[in-house]
Structure 1
Amino acid sequence: MGGFFGTISKSACITDLFYGTDYNSHLGTRRGGMATLHEGIFNRAIHNLENSYFRLRFEADLPKFKGNSGIGIISDTDPQPIFVNSHLGKYAVVTVAKINNLDELQKELLDKGCHFSELSSGQASQTELIALLISQGKTFPEGIKLVHEKIKGSCSMLILTEKCIIAARDKWGRTPILIGKKDGAHAVSSEPCSFPNLGYELTYDIGPGEIVEITADKIETVHEPNKQKQVCSFLWVYYGYPVSDYEGVNVDTMRYTCGLKMAAKDDVEADYVAGIPDSGIGMGLGYAEGKGLPYRRAIIKYTPTWPRSFTPANQEVRDLVAKMKLIPNRHLLKDKRVIFCDDSIVRGTQLNDNVNILYGYGAKEVHMRIGSPPILHACPYLGFTASKSALELITRRTIKELEGDDSKDLEKYATTDSPQYNEMIDKIRKKLNITSLKFVTVEDLLDSIGLPEGSVCTYCYNKACPKGE
C-alpha cells in the first residue's frame, strides 16, 4: 500500500522527517523517498527498500538535506517523490494511490500534448500522471479535484510547495491522513504512530476529499470534506499499527473488541489462547478475556526485519518469509489444545506452514480464530499486494474446487452460516489441517470498528462499496 509523512517547521525539519517517514515503514516494503525545500531548492533521495530498512538506506543522505519543510514516502508503487515545475510553481509530490484507468488517462494526457519522463515497471509513473493532472488546474485545489474526478481507484497525496505543504485525502477517505502539532511545527502522516515520540500531538483527521494547506503556524482547509466516506476496514484488521487511531478508533482496541465478540459466540474448549504476532495479538487478548482462558505466547516473532509474508513478488520467497519469521515455543505447545487468533487468511501460505510446525511441536489441537471475514475479492481501490488476483485467494481457489468456477455464487459464499459458506470454511479447515476454523462476521467487524453505517469499506469480503464507484 504505502504511507507518507510531511513536516513544516520554523526550524530544521530533517530529523522529524527522517524518523516520521520511518514510522510508516510497516505500510510498504518496496521503495522509500524524501524531499526537502531549502532557499527555493529541492533536495531528494530515493532508495529501494526490498532488502533493507528505510533508516539504514537513508542515514548517509541526511547531511545533504536542509530546510524547514519536507515530505517522505514509503511506496509500494513507483519511485517517489517526484519534482514538477509548472505554471503552479515548483513542487514535489508523493502519493498513496491505485489507478485502475492509468492507460486511459495516460492516452488522454498524451493527446493533449503532455509527456511523461518517468517510468515504473515499464508503465507511466502514476505519481507523475497525478502531477500532470494537478497541473491542468488553475490552482492546486482545482488540480487535485480534477485528480479525484478522473481516476478510478483511490488517491491520497502530499504536495511540498514553496509556501506550504498541501495534504489531500482520497475522495472516499479510503486511506487516512492525520495532522499533528507541536510548538513551531506541524506534521502530517498516514500513520499517527509517527507523532508521539517526535513530540507532536494528534490534532486533526483530514476528511474524505478534503484539501488542507499546512504551514508551521496553521492549517487551513481549502476544500471541504465530502459527506460520504468508505474507510478501508483492513486498516484496523491488519495494516494499522496497534497504537494508531483512525477516525478516532484505536487499532488495538478494535482488535480486542473483535476477540471479545468471537469468544462470546464460541463454545470451543481449549487450554489457552495465543495471538499470531503481530496483528493477531490484540484479538487474542480480547478472545482470552472473553473466554476466561489464559493468554500464552506460544509463537514469537523473531525480528521485524522479515517483511509481510505476502509482499515479495516471488511466491517461493513469500513461502520462505512466512516460515522463517515466526518461532513456536515447543514447551508451551506440547500436549496442549490451543486457540490461535490471527488477523486474516489471504493465500494461506503462512498458516499452512505454521500449523504443520505446531503439530510437529506437540500441539494436540489447533483452533484458528480469524479477525476478518473470509476475503473473497481482490481490492480495486487500494494497492494491497495481498489481493492482486482473486485466484491467489485461498477462498476463491476453494470455491473453484467446489464449483468448478471460482466466481459462482459468491454472494452465498459471503453469507455467514449459509450452506455454501460453511462448506467453504470446512474445506479450508481440512486443507490447512486445522482442528476448527472460524472467522469474524462482517457485522461484528463493523460493530467493533463502531463508525456510522455505510462509512467503512468491506468490498474484499462482500463487494459492498459506494454506488457509482
Structure 2
Amino acid sequence: MGGFFGAALHGDCVFDVFYGTDYHSHLGTRRAGLVTYDREEGFNRAIHNIESTNFRPKFEKDILSMKGNIGIGCISDYEPQPLMVRSHLGTYAITTVSRINNLEEIVDRIFRKGNAHFLEMSGGDINPTELVAAIINQKSSIVEGIRYAQELVDGSLTLLLMTSEGIYAARDCMGRTPVEIGRKVSEDLSGAVEHIPTFDRNGRPISRAAEAGASPDAALAASEAQAQCGYCVCFDSFSYLNLGYIPERELGPGEIDFITPDGIEVVAEPGRAMKVCSFLWIYYGFPAACYEGQNVEDVRYRCGAKLADRDRMRGGVYPDLIAGVPDSGVAHAIGYSNASHIPYCRPFVKYTPTWPRSFMPAMQSRRNLIAKMKLIPIHDLIRGRRLLLIDDSIVRGTQLRETTEYLYKSGAEEVHIRPACPPLVYGCRYLNFSRSNSEKELITRRMIERLEGTDQVGEELLAKYCDPDSEQYRAMLEEIRKELNFTSLHYHRLDDMLASVGIEPCRLCTYCWNGKE
C-alpha cells in the first residue's frame, strides 16, 4: 500500500506536508519522499529508506532546507517516490498508489513507440510510478495523459502530480482508494472578515479587512493569516485535522482535480461506477479516517456487533472475556462486547515503542517472530478464562495459531476466534496491501485443496466454499479450526460485513472474499 499528502498554500507549506505525510505512516514501511516547489529555488526533493526507522527522524534535517508554497509527500511500501520528471509536458513531481497487473505489456508498448529506457530498482523491477509517468508523457497534456494512464492500467491507479503551478489529484477509475481534499482557513480570519483572499498585481494577498477600512495593524495581521490559506489533498482525511484544515470534498471515481492555493478545478468529471476497497474499513484504514462518509472506528464497532448477534443466534459459546488482536481487531472486539454485554479486556498488550511493524521484514519467518515478540501476556486476565478473540482477518494463519497456543500455555481454558471479515479465498488484484506471493499461501486454499484432494479447483466449486450456507464452507471452517487449534471459529458473513460498512454493496469491492469484480 501507500499514502500521500499534498498542500498548495499562499504561504510556506513544508510544515504541513511533513506532518501530513507522517500521518500516513500506517500505510507503508519501506520508502518515503517529499518534494516542494519555491518560486525562487524551484523544486527540492528528498527520498529515504524507512525500513529501519520512522518517517519523521529520516526527514527532520531535510525539511530545514526545504521551502515553498506547493509540496507533496508519500509513504510507500514498495517503490522510491515521488519521482521528478522532465518532459515535453514540463517538469513535475509524481507519486502513485497503484497496482499494475499489466506492467510488462505496457512497457513493451512504450518500447515499440520508441521510449529509450526505464531505470531498474534494486530488485530488478521497473518502478511503477516511473511507468505511469512514461504513460502520461505519451499525450499532449497532463490531464489527457493521466486519463490515458487510468484507462491503460489493469489494477488500480491513484496519483498526485505536482507542477510549479499546483497539484493534479486523480482517483482510481473505480475509486478503489480514496482522495480527500481539505481547506485551510486561519482562525485569525473569523468574524466579519471573509475567508477568501484577494491579491495585488505581484500576487501578494490583500486582506479583506484592509479593504473594509480596518486599522493598518489589523489589516496586516489578517493579510498574514490569509497567506496561510489554501488546500491540501491526501489519502486519509484525518491527516489534515490537526493542521488547521476542514473537510472540503472527496474525489469521485476517476475524477481529476487541479488544486492551487486559490481553489479547486475539476478537470475530469467522476464516473458513476465505484468499487472502493472494503478492507479500508476492516483492516488498513486508520480509526480516525472516514471514507465515503463512513468512519472506520464506527464501522468496526458495527462489525463487532454483527458478530455478536450471529453468536447469539447460534448459541453454544459462552466466553468470559472479549479481546481484540491488537491493533486492528480491538475496535471490532469493543463492538462485540458492547452488543453482547460480555466484558472487554486486554489479555495481552502490544509493545510498540521499539518494535517495528510485524509485516515489515521481507522474510515471513522473521515477521512471525516479531509479531510474537511484540505481544506481552497479562496472565491474570488469561489463566482459567474462556476467551473470544477478534482479529481483522486470517491470511496464512501462522501468527494467529502461535497467538492461540501462547494463550493456552498461559492458562486459557478456551480460545474462540471471530475474524472481522469473511474467509479470504482470492488474492487481491487491485491493491498491494498483502505480501502473499500466491493464492496457495492462503489458509483457505490449503484447506480446500486438502478437502478436494487436488490443487485444481474450479471457480464453480470455489463459489460453494465462499457461500456461508453451504456444506463446503462449513467443512472448510472446521479444517481451519482444527489446523489452528481454535476452540471454535466463525467468520464474519459477507452480507453482515457489507451492512456494517453502510454504503451500497454494489459500490464496494469484495473480490478477496467471493472473486467477483
**Fold match (TM-score > 0.5):** yes
- Which of 256, 260, 278 aligns to 2:327? It is 278
CA deviation vs aligned residue, 1:15-69 (integer Å, no higher than 9, x gap): 1111111111111111111111112621111111111111111112111211111
Within a 5 Å distance, the mapping from 1:132-151 to structure 2 comes to 132-151=134-153
Q: Which residue of 2 aligns with 1:152?
A: 154
Change (3 A) 1:386 1:287: farther
User: Which residue, 404, 426, 429 being the options, matches 1:355?
Assistant: 404
CA offset at residue 187 of structure 1?
1.0
Equivalent runs, 1:324-335 vs 2, <5 Å: 324-335=373-384
Q: How much is the aligned-residue C-alpha RMSD, in angstroms?
A: 1.3
Q: What is the CA distance between 1:289 and its match in structure 2?
A: 1.3
| Contact map agreement 1:283 1:371 (CA 8 A) in 2 | yes
Per the alignment, residue 367 of structure 1 pairs with 416
**Paired residues of 2:51 and 2:360 also in contact (CA < 8 A):** no
Q: Quote the residue 1:210 is aligned against.
A: 255
Query: How far 1:404 sits from its partner (Å)?
Result: 2.7
Q: TM-score, normalised by structure 2?
A: 0.88
Unmatched tracts of structure 2, length 5 or more: 186-228
Q: Which residue type is aligned with residue 251 of structure 1? A: V
1:248 aligns with 2:300: no
Q: How much does 1:305 deviate? A: 5.2
Is 1:293 the counterpart of 2:342 in the alignment? yes
- Does the 8 A contact of 2:324 with 2:391 survive in 1? yes
Q: Find the partner of 2:473 among 402, 416, 421.
A: 421
- Equivalents in 1 of 2:247, 2:354: separation in Å? 28
Shift of the alpha carbon at 1:74? Answer: 0.8
Alpha-carbon distance, 1:272 to partner: 1.5
Paired residue secondary structure (1:375): coil
Q: Which residue of 2 aligns with 1:404?
A: 453
Farther off after superposition, 215-224 or 169-178: 215-224
Alignment of 1:29-428 (within 5 A): 29-39=29-39, 41-120=42-121, 121-183=123-185, 184-266=229-311, 267=315, 268-303=317-352, 306-408=355-457, 409-428=461-480
* Greater C-alpha radius of gyration: 2
Q: Check conservation: 1:10, 1:68, Cα contact below 8 A.
A: yes
Matched with 1:454 is: 506
Q: What code does the residue aligned with 2:104 have?
A: D
Sort the Cα spacing of 1:383 and 1:375 in 2 relative to 1 into closer, same or farther, 3 A.
same
The match for 1:434 is: 486
Aligned residues: 465
Cα distance between partner residues in 2 of 1:115 and 1:305: 45
Deviation per CA, 1:78-102, whole angstroms, max 9, x where unpaired?
1101111112111000000110111
> 1:165-215: per-residue Cα shift (whole Å, max 9, x none)?
110000000011101111202111111121111111122111110001111
Q: Which amino acid in 2 is paired with 1:417? A: D
TM-score by length of 1: 0.97
CA–CA distance in 2 between the matches of 1:192 and 1:326? 30
Amino acid in the other structure paired with 1:327? I
Query: Which residue is 1:28 aligned to?
Result: 28
Unaligned stretches of 5+ in structure 1? none
Q: CA deviation at 1:307?
A: 4.4
Task: After superposition, give the CA deviation of every residue in 1:301-337 in whole Å (9 maximum; x if it has no partner).
Answer: 1116544434432112111122122222111011001
- Secondary structure of the equivalent of 2:29? coil
Structure 1 contact 322–353 (Cα < 8 Å) conserved: no
Paired AA for residue 160 in structure 2: L
